[in-house]
Every structure is written in structure tokens, then in C-alpha cells.
Amino acid sequence: MKDYACDRIRNFSIIAHIDHGKSTLADRLLELTGTIQTVSKGASTQQFLDKLKVERERGITVKAQTASMFHAHEGQEYLLNLIDTPGHVDFSWEVSRSMSACQGALLLVDATQGVQAQSLSVFHAARERGLTIIPVLNKIDLPAAQPERITAQMEAIFGIQPSEVLPISAKTGQGVRDVLRAIVERIPSPEGRPDDKLKAFLFDSSYDRYRGVISLVSIQSGILRKGDRIASSHTKKKYEVTELGIMHPEEVPTNDLHSGQVGYIACNMKQSSEAHIGDTLHRVGEVIEPMTGFQPAKAMVFAGIYPIDSNDFPKLEESIKRLTLTDRSVTVQRESSTALGQGNRLGFLGSLHMDVFRQRLEDEYDANVIITAPTVPFKVIYKDRTVLVSNPTDFPDVADSTSKVREIQEPIVKASIIVPEVYVGDMMELCFSHRAEELDYRYLDTSGASSSRVILTCVIPLSEIVSDFFDKLKSRSSGFASFDYEAAGYKRSDLVKMMFLLNNKPVDALALIIHRSAEQSVGRLWAKKLHKVIPRQLFEVPIQAVVGKKVVARETLSAMRADVTAGLYGGHYERKMKHLENQKESKRKMKRIGSVDLPQEAFFDILRTKRS
């Protein structure tokens, strides 16, 4: 590794909107540099860096992966460190982490779809970090490709010169060698001196059951050797490096890592919480100035996860702990429910992140779970304090006159939607129906083409987009719209807690926090859902949606009735009436003392279906 000084190292990531070909381009780069064997078309090893089952099934990247490649250019051999990044907005934290270890980025744009919402987001994030950006136009081999129009679009939006754009086809390999040449010639080498004190920037970690926590580090200065004793600037804990090496693309042990290089280290770190993302590692006894890290991930969507069989809770909790070792952005807190038993309340970066986590639990740990309706963190401002509430059962009853709540605030986001001009009206209607404000739009294509696209920006409550907003967006735009958002703080809102009563007894696991304007529609919808899934009882069961002390919706589940007069024949009609009155009285007693047991299958049916 000592043969690769800083001037012969290039650290770069691939950034793009979802499904623009990042993982396919990574495959071609790994093949051209001889890092992996050439993959035949249709082989199962396509998207080599997408290692998770959920990534291969959904065709998306969830976890950023690192690979080191050796590439000969003009008689010199270079070490290229590639970090493949996710493209969906929910995993933007993975992207920011990856870019912190790079000096350059390949900005990939689809020649058939053009610049999308996430393309804008990652471009500005890379520009803010001072990365050198190489624009790449992918999928030029497809019949629907419009390279000239999309190149003009990139020039108008990003200010990129058309001569700098590299047209390629990552699938066929056309033009990919030009990308390798541009990486070496355009991206600056990392700055670092091997004779300085050791500084290693920790930007990712994973867990190995035999070796403990494996940390991915970028060596900023100095040399890290096997057997060195290192310390964390964040936790002050000390470790001995037992193994280190590079990802080529699997782990390849080496004796040392030098300035500018990216690799992995194992140092008997037992708990994943010790590997603080953004931490600076240094040699024991040396005093250094820690590097500025980056903002830790903030959970934006919360949901309760419960086992279908309550006896499986210890196994589920262990599975969640193991999975969070590889996904550090998930927050975990134990909670219990009278209806569902013991469970965990988890915080995610978005609704897709939540869905991917659930699928990984099922795929990798064979878990059968119920997930409650997703909620977002609300600020409850009292006269003397402010409390952050993410669990609906902890939300105060603001309708109560004795409540000391001064105001409720909900998180809002600044959303960007890029869509063909023909769908602008539908998108505006969708945004307004989800309480959007400050709606604005502008044309992206200045050429006056008939298929010109528009970017809509608006401020919208986060709670409105975590349920099914994305599905509606895609269906109303025939799949052409792209969506991206970023946090924009909190705003005062008229929110209420909705409870559901079965036979006048509340079901805590079904509590919702909603805007007052939606209480009628949501109450009726969920009451009808409950009416469909609750098994009939021997007595009449009222199903009520309640806000404060006001019932906003009601359905009645009729009782199962036995025909008590079936065995009677002949005689006076009063004989039959006596039996019917006795039955009616018995059902009154049952209703008074009986309880409705909502089965787990009913919860599963209710929470699996979308709100509307």
C-alpha cells in the first residue's frame, strides 16, 4: 500500500436519482479495472455492490458500499476508491456520509428521464462539500434517449458545460473507459501527509459476529498499521488494531493504510454505538484536532413494531438489535401496548426506509411482525416546557379545557416535484389536498419543447407524505413525477388525537394524530375498516372514532343471534315473546360486562392497508 501515495489515489462516489444506473456503472468500473470477472448478460451477479436481498428484489441501493480498484493510466497505476450510494431521498444520510470521504463525484443523469428531483438535491450537497463533479449521461443506447436535449437541460440547471458531459451506456460498457480517464484526470488527489500524526475519519461501520464492529475509515494523515493502539476522539476509548485492509471489493487484509487511502479496520470494538459516525481516530498518546463531522441522522418517521405471536418478542428484539448494527440511522425504544403486548418503537428516515427495514427483518431474521400506523415527531409546547411526542398514546388531549398545552407544532418539509407540464394541474391538486402551502413552479426546459418539464416547490407537513403521498404522486403522473424533500423545521398546527372505542373501551394501538380538518373522513374510514375485520360477538358492539369527548364516526357490529324459538311449536305467541325477552336481557348483561378481544389478524389487516 505504501506505493500508492496521495497523488496516485482518487476517492469518488456515484450520485444520482433512484434508478438512473449507479450500481450498473459501478459493475462496469469494477469489470474494466479487473476487480471482478466480466459478468455475462442476465447473470445473477449483476449489481455486484447491491448485496442485500431487498436491494436485488426492489432494484434499489439501500446501503452505501465501498470498493477499491487498481487502474493503469499513462504508465502509472492508480488506486481508485469507489463508494456507490443510494438514490432515494430516504437514504440521503448514506449519501452525505459517503461524500464526506471523497474528493469527487460522478453525477449520473438518465438520458431518457432527464434531471430528476434527487439529482438536484445530491448535486447541491456535493457542491456544498466542495467536491469536483463529473457529469455523466447514462442510457444513451436506449431508443427513447434524448442526449442533446438532456445535455442542454443539465447546462441550464447545473451550469455545466456540454463539453464536460460524458455520454455512456453503463449496461453495454460504451464510453465507460472515458469515465475512468476523467476520474484520474479531473478529480483531485486527497490532501494528506504520511509523516503527520495519524488522523482517520470514521464514515461507516458494520457488525461481524466473530470480530465485532468493522469500521470503514478514510486516512486523512499519517499511517495506520496492524497492531497500533488507537483512541476515539468522541468516546476516548482505546483499542488495538487487530486487522485492517481494503475492500477489493471483498475484504483484503493489508499490513498498513496510508494517507488518502480508504479501508476497513477491526479493533475488538464490541458495541456498534462505540463506532460514532464522523469520529476521528488517532494514535494513543497523540493530541490532535478532531475533524468536523457531520450532522447525525434524525428520525423523521416513527412506528411501533410488534411480533404477531407475543411469545416471539425476545427473538424480535434480538433481530432488531442485530439489524440496527448495520443500519445506524434507526432509533429503538421499547414500548408496550394493552392490545399488542410487548414491542419496540422505531424511528426511521422515511416511509421507504421503514418498509425496507421491515422486509430485511422478514428476509434476514424470519420475523413475522405488525407495524403500527407511521407517525412523525410533534412538539407539544406547555406553559413551562416543550415535549417531543412521537407516540400517539402520549399525545395530550387538547380538546380538554383543563389542558395546559399552549400550542402544538408539527414538522414541515420543503418538497420539490419535477413533472411533465401536462400533469401540473393534477400535482397542484394533490399538494393542496395534503395541506401544502407556498406553492410555486417554474419551467426547467428553456427550449420551449412540447414535452417541457416543470419543477413545483411547496411547504408541506411531513405527516401528510409519510403514508401514501408517494403512491398517489406516481399514479396521478403515470409514473413520470419525481419527488424530493428536505426538513424545514416546525410550524403551529391544529392537531388532535383520535381514539377508537370498542364497546366503549379504547384500543391504544390504533390511536392516531391527525389534523382537525380530516377528523370526519379519517374517522369514518377507520371505523369501516374495523367493522370489516372485527369478528362478530354474541352482543352488539359499537365501534366509535372519538376526538376528545366527541364521537366523529360510528359503526355498529350486529350481534350473533341464536334462534331461541326454533324448538317451540304451537301454543300462544306470548310463549315465544318470553324467550325473546330473556335473550334480549342476557345480551344486555353481556354487553355491560363483556370485552371485545381484537385478534392479531385483525390488527394485521387494518395496519397493512393504506389509509386511503
Helices 117-128 and 92-99: angle between axes, nearest 10 degrees = 30
The CATH architecture one would assign to domain 199-283 is: Beta Barrel (2.40)
Residue 169, pLDDT above cutoff 80: yes
Which pLDDT score is estimated for 591? 61
pLDDT digits (tens, 9 = 90+) for 591-601: 665 566 666 66
* 466 compared with 380, residue with greater pLDDT: 380
Q: How far is CA 61 from the centre of its chain?
A: 11
Q: Output the CA–CA distances (angstroms, integers) from residue 587 to 243, 558, 568, 574, 584, in the order listed.
A: 72, 12, 21, 20, 5
On whether the CB atoms of residues 178 and 149 are closer than 8 A, the answer is: no
pLDDT at 611: 42
Residue 172 confidence class, pLDDT cut points 50, 70, 90: confident
Beta carbons of 231 and 283 less than 8 angstroms apart: yes
Contact 485, 465 (CB under 8 A): yes
Mean pLDDT of the 40-58 span: 51
Burial of 606 (0-12, 13-18, 19+ CB in 10 A): buried
Give the residue-averaged pLDDT of 219-227.
87
Whole-angstrom distance, CA of residue 46 vs CA of residue 55: 12
Percent of the chain residues topping a pLDDT of 90: 6
Question: What CA–CA distance (Å, rounded) separates 317 from 334?
Answer: 9
pLDDT at 90: 58
Judged by DSSP in three states, 375 sits in strand
Q: What is the pLDDT of residue 460?
A: 92
pLDDT at 481 over 90: no
Residue 181 phi, psi (nearest 5): -65, -40
Query: What was the pLDDT predicted at 593?
Result: 59
pLDDT band for position 358 (cuts 50, 70, 90): confident
What local confidence, expressed as pLDDT, does residue 125 receive?
80
Is 100 in contact with 110 (CB distance < 8 Å)? Answer: no
Candidates 3.30.70.870, 3.30.70.960, 3.90.550.10, 3.40.50.2000; correct CATH number of 301-371? Answer: 3.30.70.870
Domain ranges, ordered by start, for the chain: 6-186, 199-283, 301-371, 392-492, 496-608
Lowest mean pLDDT among 76-90, 246-260, 312-326: 76-90
The architecture in CATH of the region 496-608 reads 2-Layer Sandwich (3.30)
pLDDT on residue 589: 67
Q: Could you tell me what percent of the chain has a pLDDT over 70?
A: 84
- Whether the per-residue pLDDT at 14 is higher than 50: the answer is yes
Better-scored residue on pLDDT, 101 or 130: 130
Question: Which comes out higher in pLDDT, residue 474 or 39?
Answer: 474
The one-letter code for the residue type at 318 is E
pLDDT band at 20 (very low <50, low <70, confident <90, very high): confident
For residues 231 and 281, the answer to whether their CB atoms sit within 8 Å is yes
Is pLDDT above 50 for 192? yes
350-377: average pLDDT: 83
Helix H or strand E segment including 67: strand 65-73
Residue 439 clears pLDDT 50, i.e. is over it: yes
Contact present, 252 and 245 (Cβ < 8 Å): yes
Query: What's the grid cell of residue 369?
Result: 411482525
Per-chain mean pLDDT for the chain: 80
Could you tell me the strand order of the sheet in which 262-266 lies?
238-240, 229-232, 280-283, 199-208, 212-221, 262-266, 243-247, 251-253
Specify the pLDDT at position 518.
87
Kindly give, in sequence order, each residue whose CB lies less than 8 Å from that of residue 332, ignoring residues fewer than 6 positions away. 320, 321, 324, 344, 345, 346, 347
User: How far is C-alpha 281 from the geometric centre of its chain's CA atoms?
Assistant: 28
Buried b (16+ CB within 10 A) or exposed e, 28-49: bbbbbbebbeebeeeeeeebbb
420 near 449, Cβ under 8 Å?
A: no
What class does CATH assign to 392-492?
A: alpha beta
**Cα–Cα distance for residue pair 520/546, rounded to 1 Å:** 10
- Reported confidence tier of residue 530, pLDDT bands at 50, 70, 90: confident
Label each residue of 89-158 as H, E or C. HHHHHHHHHHHCCCCEEEEEEECCCECCHHHHHHHHHHHHCCCEEEEEEECCCCCCCCHHHHHHHHHHHH
Please say whether the beta carbons of 482 and 118 come within 8 A: yes
Residues whose CB falls within 8 Å of the CB of residue 492, separated by 6 or more in sequence, listed in order: 407, 408, 409
pLDDT-based confidence at residue 211 (cuts at 50, 70, 90): confident
Note the pTM of the prediction, 2 decimals. Answer: 0.73
Question: Could you report the per-residue pLDDT of 546-570, keeping only the tens digit for each?
Answer: 998 889 999 988 877 677 666 677 6
Q: Tell me the Ramachandran region of residue 151: left when phi exceeds 0, alpha when psi lies from -120 to 50, beta otherwise.
A: alpha
pLDDT of residue 134: 92
User: Measured between alpha carbons, how far is 162 from 165 in angstroms, rounded to an integer?
Assistant: 5
- The single residue listed with the C-alpha cell 377528523 is 519
Give the count of alpha carbons within 13 A of 52, CB side only. 23
Query: In angstroms, how far is the first alpha carbon of the chain from the final one?
Result: 57
Q: What is the mean pLDDT of residues 273-291?
A: 79
Kindly provide the residue ranges of all beta strands, DSSP E only, lying in 179-322, ordered along the sequence: 199-208, 212-221, 224-225, 229-232, 238-240, 243-247, 251-253, 256-257, 262-266, 280-283, 301-307
Using pLDDT thresholds of 50, 70 and 90, give the confidence band for residue 450.
very low
CATH architecture of 6-186: 3-Layer(aba) Sandwich (3.40)
| pLDDT interval class at 451 (50, 70, 90) | low
Domains 301-371 and 496-608 share a fold: yes
pLDDT tier at 295, thresholds 50, 70, 90: low
* 344 within 8 A of 335, measured Cβ to Cβ: yes
Q: pLDDT for 402-435, tens place per residue? A: 567 888 899 998 888 888 888 889 999 999 988 8
Ramachandran assignment for 163, one of left (phi > 0), alpha (psi -120 to 50 degrees), beta (any other): alpha
Query: Which residues have a Cβ under 8 Å from the Cβ of 569 and sit 6 or more positions away?
Result: none
Residue 327 has pLDDT above 60, yes or no: yes
Task: Give dist(CA 376, CA 350) in Å, integer.
Answer: 10
